[in-house]
């Protein structure tokens, strides 16, 4: 269910700001979007994917993977008025300058979204495209089905898997293949030695 409130009462806003769930709130052009807290399945998969990418992709390249980061336009005078929070962001060294500790001012290399029922994952895509984020990865929370979308002009194009079922990220070389019913196999390039099925356990 969606609800739109023309003006958020001050005491409601204060109560929400002090609650644990507020860390997932986003501001879209001055409008507060209050997402529900991710469930344990969502959080576990985000954690395992971040650990895998940190160890196998980021560390060898001197790159970074961050979880739950505020991402705002580089030219936004007040970032708190317009930001989104991807589940993960990937940064190569040439993009480290966008990291302002409290938020990212501009485009990470990849924004990762784990789609939960009723969330606004796909509504965020135009924002990421306007920032110039080269790739967005979208995982289904429950099945772990994955989409890799690459920026083509002002919108994202959906990539297709190869004949063996692997879906490759052009920006990173990371590859994905579904492992039914609810895992995804991840590897770096064509190197099977790096392959892991996520979430673990």
Q: Which fold has domain 38-198?
A: tt1808, chain A (3.90.1570)
| Termini Cα distance of the chain | 33
String of DSSP letters for 85-154 = --SEEEE-GGGGGGB-SS-EES--SEEEEEE-TT--TGGGHHHHHHHT-SEEEEEETTT--EEEEEEETT
pLDDT confidence tier of residue 35, bands split at 50, 70 and 90: confident
pLDDT per residue as tens digits for the range 55-111: 999 999 999 999 999 999 999 999 999 999 999 999 999 999 999 999 999 999 999
Average pLDDT value for residue range 165-185: 98
Structure tokens, 83:
């930001």
User: What pLDDT, on a 0 to 100 scale, did the predictor assign at position 5?
Assistant: 52
User: What pLDDT, on a 0 to 100 scale, did the predictor assign at position 118?
Assistant: 82
* Average pLDDT score over the chain: 91
> Domains of the chain: which residue ranges?
38-198
Percent pLDDT > 70 in the chain is 88
Residue 169 has pLDDT above 90, yes or no: yes
Pick the more confident residue, 1 or 65: 65
User: What pLDDT, on a 0 to 100 scale, did the predictor assign at position 24?
Assistant: 59
User: What pLDDT, on a 0 to 100 scale, did the predictor assign at position 20?
Assistant: 59
């Amino acid at each position: 269910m969606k609800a739109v409130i023309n003006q958020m009462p001050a005491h409601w806003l204060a109560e929400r700001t002090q609650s644990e769930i507020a860390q997932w709130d986003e501001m879209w052009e001055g409008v507060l979007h209050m997402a529900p807290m991710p469930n344990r399945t969502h959080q576990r998969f985000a954690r395992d994917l971040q650990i895998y990418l940190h160890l196998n992709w980021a560390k060898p390249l001197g790159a970074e993977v961050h979880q739950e980061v505020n991402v705002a336009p580089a030219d936004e005078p007040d970032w708190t008025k317009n930001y989104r929070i991807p589940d993960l962001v990937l940064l190569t060294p040439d993009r480290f300058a966008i990291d302002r500790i409290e938020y990212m001012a501009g485009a990470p290399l990849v924004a990762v979204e784990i789609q939960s029922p009723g969330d606004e994952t796909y509504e965020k895509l135009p924002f990421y495209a306007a920032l110039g984020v080269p790739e967005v990865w979208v995982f289904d929370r429950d099945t772990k089905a994955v989409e890799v979308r690459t920026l083509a002009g002002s919108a994202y194009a959906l990539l297709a898997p190869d004949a063996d079922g692997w879906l490759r990220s052009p920006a990173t070389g990371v590859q994905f293949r579904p492992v039914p019913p609810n895992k995804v196999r991840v590897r770096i390039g064509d190197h099977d030695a790096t392959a892991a099925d996520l979430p673990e356990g």
